[in-house]
Amino acid sequence: MLQNNLYKDDFMQASEYLRMVVPFLSKYKIPASPLNYRIGYDFISGNNVELKKALDSFIHDHEELSEKILLELYKQFITEGNGEAVDSVRQELQKVIDQIQNEYDNSSSELSDYLTSLNSFVDILSGSGEKESLALETQKVVESTVSTEVSQRNFESQLSCMMDEMQTLRKQLEQVREESLTDALTSLSNRKAFDQLLAKQIQLNTELNIPFCLVIADIDYFKKFNDSYGHLVGDKVPKYVAKTIKSCVKGKDVAARFGGEEFVLILPETEMAGAVTVAEHVRVAISKSALIDHNKNINYGKITISLGVSSYQPGDEPADLIKRADQALYRAKENGRNRIEKAD
């Protein structure tokens, strides 16, 4: 099945973008593979506004770029956005459903013919036909019964195979959905999943008046760490922080990667005091251990984070809650880092 072309650029325009994309990738020593070129093309052309905004922000903050970052951007802004994998699985599911319907129609037709044959036999039994005629019709009914039984068995077998195939496709669809909501680097929920969960939590709070809080955490001096050790080592830091955060959240609490070196926690049914306690637990757990590469026997030192906490207020939109937590995070940075600040 042909996909709709997302690009409307003519030959001259596409050629101009080509001359810009290749040097852009070369600047960061990134090979012009199809995936990397797709990201570069969307960035240079501005075709994907959200991707361009995220990549501009990353380059501004970090000054460097890697294939891993491009892969993460690809999964976040292209794989999630176009839904091609989901559409493919859905199409396969529809094929199976059509096959089941077709087999059911054929089976119904054969069963209808069988019932017609039985009705004809009943008419003969009710009449005064000759022995030869009765014997002939009896033989037809026997043959028709055997044929119908075989057809029904075939139908049941085919239906069983199709149902197994449908179950497999459903699992694939669920896997695609899960992958679209998972951050590739840290395996936490990604920004898309966070946005959905936060909106759902606000709706629930509006209906049931249940308190909840939001925590935003940011890795301290992350850019300095990347500049000192490079992005390959730098990727270990968000992984370490994510793993530690995940070990600290329980029950209905949700942890997600907000983007770059920022993480968020949604804490349902939690007042401000309880949220600060959770945030402190996370802060201490991260700062008390050093990041160590045991294979190379290298100690990269302690990692710390700063955190901002906000609580839901009546009438809040997601952006309001995020803004207050972000402002509190900014104060935590200003006041010395490795600390927690509460929103006003």
Active site residues: 261
In order of 16, 26, 33, the CA distances from 12 in angstroms are 6, 22, 22
Single out the residue of 186, 214, 189, 192 nearest to residue 202, CA to CA: 214
Contact 144, 112 (CB under 8 A): no
Distance CA 248, CA 279 (A): 9
Distance CA 156, CA 163 (A): 10
Which tokens is 2 given? 């042909």
Single out the residue of 283, 275, 322, 274 nearest to residue 306, CA to CA: 283
Largest CA distance in the chain: 108
Backbone angles phi, psi at 199, to 5 degrees: -60, -40
Contacting residues for 233 by C-beta, under 8 A, at least 6 apart = 225, 293, 300
Residue 235, class by beta-carbon neighbours within 10 Å (0-12 exposed, 13-18 middle, 19+ buried)?
A: middle
Distance CA 33, CA 44 (A): 16
Distance CA 200, CA 196 (A): 6
- SS3 (DSSP) at 224: helix
Distance CA 220, CA 329 (A): 11
Distance CA 221, CA 228 (A): 11
- DSSP string for 7-24: ----HHHHHHHHHHHHHH
- SS3 (DSSP) at 29: coil
Which tokens is 127 given? 């009449």
